[in-house]
Chains A and B, each alone.
Chain A
Amino acid sequence: MPESIIPPFQGYGLGLRPPHYQEVLARDLPVDFFEVISENFMVKGGRPLTMLDAVRERYPVALHGVSMSIGSADGLRPEYLQRLKTLADRVQPLWVSDHLCWTGIEGFNSHDLLPLPYSEAAMETVCANVHQAQEALQRPILIENPSSYVAFADDEMTEWGFLTELCRRTGCYLLLDVNNIYVSAVNHGFDPLAYIAGVPAERVRQVHLAGHSQGRGRLIDTHDQPVPDPVWALYKAASRRLGPVAAMIERDDDIPPLDDLLAEVALARGYAANAEACAA
């Protein structure tokens, strides 16, 4: 892996979604970068790649995947990694990220971010897969914490302990989804501030901010709501702990007008600046 370091990038961004394509290209936006869902652009041609090329001409872009399945016990799919590498070569992204989860095994793909046990056995699998991905992509990757709704009897460590050890063993970086921390903290009854305090700050290159929904007896990570107050509060704590780090609003469903999301980007920028001022 020739590149082993991802330089920090401080900026405030937005997930690029199809309803906003034209507006993003037509306006001069107060956005420092866009993040795109990698799989939507791992295609042969047509409008998606044309739009992505046009956006990339104007903004830095981060690639965020949902199908690498870094926790699959039967390994990663070389064809997937090759397609992702082709896209990364085209985009020259800030970085490439995916989730600490598995999406399928043995030819089955759930297209959901399924939970992993935080055990040594799982650690060995995930480390081997991260090494494989980083070799194939010729760059370190960022791993994002998912929301989860079950914990396993096999768990031997906390999620943040697992991520910390994963970074140490593989040289990968982290994408912290503050909403996911909050959702999992409520669902599993841990202290989200302990999570923030427990991750290796120097490995965090990006933060996701999003909303969630109240399900039956637990929170559901829907990413279809504005960022709620408890997540903003956690982001303020994260900003103090992490220092300057790229952050973005990740809205996946019930996509509102672009200006609503830009207002949230501005809030993130303001909260982080305030945290920085307090730290000075």
Chain B
Amino acid sequence: MSLLELQRQFRDHLLDAPSPIADRIDGDSTADGLAVYHHAYRAQLVACLGDTYEKLWAWLGDDAFRAAAERYIAAHPPQSWTLSDYGSAFPAVLAELYPDDPDVAELASLDWTLRRAFDGEDASPITAGDLAAVDWETARFRFTPTLQIFPIRTNCAAIWNALALDETPPAATCLAEPAAIRVWRRELAPQFSSMDACEYDSLSRLQEGANFSELCAHLGDTLGEAEATLTIGQLLGRWLQDELVIAIA
């Protein structure tokens, strides 16, 4: 038998697919030996998900988290060479598992994006002093590469913060207004902040390539000139202060 065929049989054993691999094993304790690998494969992935989705784990509790993790592992064998990539679709799976509890998937998204920000690309933010030379008519924004944004419907941010402080988290509730979260890393520290719908929309448009004057025009249409000018000033100030912007050119 070729090495490739033997390795396919071993893989199938790990993945619970029919496999004659036991016939290729020498010795009288074949099943026990194969069971070590079968168990280690799952245990490592459960531990990986537990490490990445630490707050989600605390929120769901051991049994529910493990059940969700095992279901995920069965449907999503790892493909990347790094365990850091494992679990990217866990929030989507949780959204299916908990259709009436959007807090669960949102908390998972927060855990995942914070973990991604942890070892994401380094970047140097600009400051207010760098704005003097900007041609605002054509200016486009470049944000720090760890910045990720996503809409939320629940108080997942408050839940996450309480769990991080080892405090009793609030009950899950739906927010009165649409909101969103932005996650990024400031120097070496991953962090997140809640956003209202206007900031989320503005950030989304700039991330998708709109230039500054296009954003101003859009805000002018929706908010009126005076309100738009005030809002864009506030947003720009906040983004600079939070070290989100790495270039405006």
Contacts and interface: CB of A to CB of B under 8 A. Distances in A.
B4 interface: yes
A152 B6 contact: yes
B32 A218 contact: yes
Q: Which of B8, B79, B81 has the most CB of A within 10 A?
A: B81
Q: Which of A46, A121, A125 has the most CB of B within 10 A?
A: A46
A220 interface: yes
Interface stretch (A105-113, A161-169, A260-268): A105-113
A214 to B, nearest CB: 12
Nearest to A67: B81
By DSSP majority rule, is chain B's interface helix, strand, loop, or mixed?
A: helix
Interface in A147-184: 149-155
Contacts of B30: 150
A72 interface: yes
B27 interface: yes
Contact of B41 (A47, A112, A218): A112
Interface residues of A, number: 51
Contact of A117 (B6, B37, B122, B188): B6
A48 B188 CA distance: 9
Given A150-B25, A150-B30, A153-B24, A215 B7 contact: no
Contacts of A69: 81
A249 interface: no
A109 B81 contact: yes
A241 interface: no
A77 B24 contact: no
Given A105-B8, A117-B3, A122-B3, A44 B122 contact: yes
Interface in B19-46: 23-27, 29-30, 32-34, 36-37, 40-41, 44-45
Contact of A48 (B14, B78, B117, B119): B119
A151 B118 contact: no
Given A108-B11, A216-B32, A217-B32, A46 B82 contact: no
B119 A45 contact: yes
B143 to A, nearest CB: 15
Given A43-B119, A73-B3, A122-B3, A151 B81 contact: no
Contacts of B84: 39, 43
A104 interface: yes
Given A110-B78, A154-B24, A218-B33, A46 B4 contact: no
A260 to B, nearest CB: 22
B83 interface: yes
B2 interface: yes
A80 B80 CA distance: 10
A45 B6 contact: no
B interface, size bucket: 35 or more
A108 B45 CA distance: 13
A4 interface: no
B45 A111 contact: yes
Contact of B7 (A46, A72, A220): A72
Contact of B25 (A39, A108, A151): A151
A112 B13 CA distance: 14
B63 interface: no
Contacts of A12: none
B79 A108 contact: yes
Contacts of A50: 188
B10 interface: yes
A104 B11 contact: yes
Interface of A: 39, 42-50, 67, 69, 71-74, 77, 79-80, 102, 104-112, 114-117, 119, 121-122, 125, 149-155, 187-188, 215-218, 220
8 smallest A-B Cβ distances: which pairs? Answer: A45-B122, A73-B4, A150-B33, A43-B119, A44-B121, A149-B33, A46-B119, A149-B36
17 contacts: A44-B120, A44-B121, A44-B145, A45-B122, A46-B119, A47-B119, A67-B81, A73-B4, A102-B7, A106-B8, A108-B11, A108-B15, A117-B24, A152-B6, A152-B25, A154-B6, A154-B24
Interface of B: 1-4, 6-8, 10-11, 14-15, 23-27, 29-30, 32-34, 36-37, 40-41, 44-45, 48, 77-84, 86, 117-122, 145, 185, 188
